[in-house]
Amino acid sequence: MIVGVGALGTHAADALARAGVGHLTLVDRDVVEVSNLQRQCLFDEEDARRARPKAIAAATALRRVNESIRVDADSEELSVERFDALADRPDLILDGTDNFAARMLINDLAIRDGVTWIYAAAVGSTGRAMTIVPGRTPCLRCLMPTPPPTAEVGTCESMGVLSTAITSVVSFQVTEALRWLCRGEFTRGVWVCDPWETIAELRMRHTAPDPNCDSCGRGELPALRTRAESATPLCGRNAVQVMPHATGGVDLRKLADGLGDWASSVECSHQLLRFQADDARFTVFRSGRALVFGTDDAGRARILYDRYVGL
Ligand SMILES: [Zn+2]
């Protein structure tokens, strides 16, 4: 299963389909935009003009690559309910997402069901990845008990990304996938690469699982308790209210500083952060709750929220 079929996910899916991995399930809630084409393979300008759902466009391309394998596409957001409705547990999950809320959901589902998954991320010119084998390696929450909001670490949308940072990190991720599927072997540690700075190294090789980790230590699996319906259209206002995945609120000033050049009309006070991005207007409260104006589509608002606030 590949969750997130953007830059990371399309490259990983392409390599796995060509390698002959017999059954791929692609999950992505977004549609193709022309700005994706710099780094996302399997898509073209026609997909962007038609705003095709990424999972479906990628599956169509992969069936032309290898018609002997099965490719399933799901163009909804991954949720506990959707995962539980699958006929079979996946043998392996690859992370192609762009936010920690989605990654923690994968993390906690994988721990609950004992499924190996491979975290991957890339932004700017750096990439990182880690194979997580429940019970045998630290999980993602062991390393990041409280993940930073996306706006603080940046995303491909807000900071840009070097396309070779993507392919470098996917090279590690897909190699790990093939080793796991063929031989049950995996690498311990966090793979960090920066092709621009010619860095490629394995860090934290000897880090052990944290017995106090809420996910793999205590088994509380907090991501599975997040409300699935966290975005609600506001009647007649062309706006959607989006609730944060995390609790504990947000430092609005830091959030504002992290927005970079992609946001305009930024106004920040102690109580509120307002900005404009992607033809939408955002009002973010200290709790992390946000109103997204300019759309009445809850899914679209959730995507924009995760892209710019990501809490
Ligand atoms: Zn853990």
Number of domains, the chain: 2
Ligand 1 geometric centre to CA of 203 (Å): 17
**59: number of Cβ within 10 Å:** 23
Ligand 1 geometric centre to CA of 216 (Å): 4
Rounded CA gap, 276 and 257, in Å? 14
Between 148 and 239, the higher pLDDT residue: 239
Asked if 213 is an active-site residue, the reply is: no
Ligand 1 geometric centre to CA of 278 (Å): 35
- pLDDT at position 241 is 86
High-pLDDT (> 70) share of the chain, %: 97
Tell me the backbone φ, ψ of residue 238, rounded to 5 degrees: 50, 45
Ligand 1 geometric centre to CA of 135 (Å): 9
> What confidence category does residue 272 fall into, taking pLDDT thresholds of 50, 70 and 90?
confident
- pLDDT at position 228 is 52
Q: For 276, how many CA atoms within 13 A lie in the half-sphere containing its CB?
A: 4
Helix, coil or strand: residue 27 = strand
42 lies in the same domain as 162: yes
- pLDDT at position 227 is 56
Q: Are strands 2-3 and 92-95 parallel, antiparallel or unpaired?
A: parallel
Closest C-alpha to 203, from 151, 92, 126: 126
Tokens 């190699």 correspond to 175
Model confidence at 34: pLDDT above 80: yes
Domain final residue, candidates 156, 191, 224 = 224
Exposure string for 113-152, b = 16+ CB within 10 A, e = fewer: eebbbbbbbbbebbbbbbbbbbeebbbbbbbeeebebbbe
The model carries a pTM of 0.80
Q: Quick one: how far is CA 163 from the chain centroid?
A: 17
Ligand 1 geometric centre to CA of 78 (Å): 21
11 lies in the same domain as 112: yes
Ligand 1 geometric centre to CA of 112 (Å): 12
CATH code of residue 22: 3.40.50.720
Ligand 1 geometric centre to CA of 132 (Å): 9
pLDDT tens-digit readout, 86-112: 888 999 999 999 888 899 999 999 999
**153: number of Cβ within 10 Å:** 16
Rounded CA gap, 158 and 9, in Å? 19
Between 255 and 114, the higher pLDDT residue: 114
Ion ligand 1 — residues with CB < 5 Å:
139, 141-142, 213, 215-216
> Mean pLDDT throughout 55-80?
94
Between 157 and 74, the higher pLDDT residue: 74
162 lies in the same domain as 81: yes
Of 41, 139, 142, 156, which residue is the catalytic one?
156
CATH code of residue 276: 3.30.310.10
Tokens 């399309």 correspond to 10
Domain hosting 266: range is 229-308
Residue 193 in contact with residue 126, Cβ under 8 Å? yes
Domain final residue, candidates 158, 192, 224 = 224
148 lies in the same domain as 92: yes
Residue 156 in tokens: 């491909």
189 lies in the same domain as 260: no
Q: For 252, how many CA atoms within 13 A lie in the half-sphere containing its CB?
A: 19
137 lies in the same domain as 237: no
Ligand 1 geometric centre to CA of 133 (Å): 10
217 lies in the same domain as 256: no
82 lies in the same domain as 121: yes
- CB proximity list for 20: less than 8 A, separation 6 or greater: 66, 68, 69
177 lies in the same domain as 253: no
pLDDT tens-digit readout, 9-32: 999 999 999 999 999 999 998 889
271 lies in the same domain as 288: yes
Domain final residue, candidates 161, 195, 224 = 224
220 lies in the same domain as 284: no
105 lies in the same domain as 42: yes
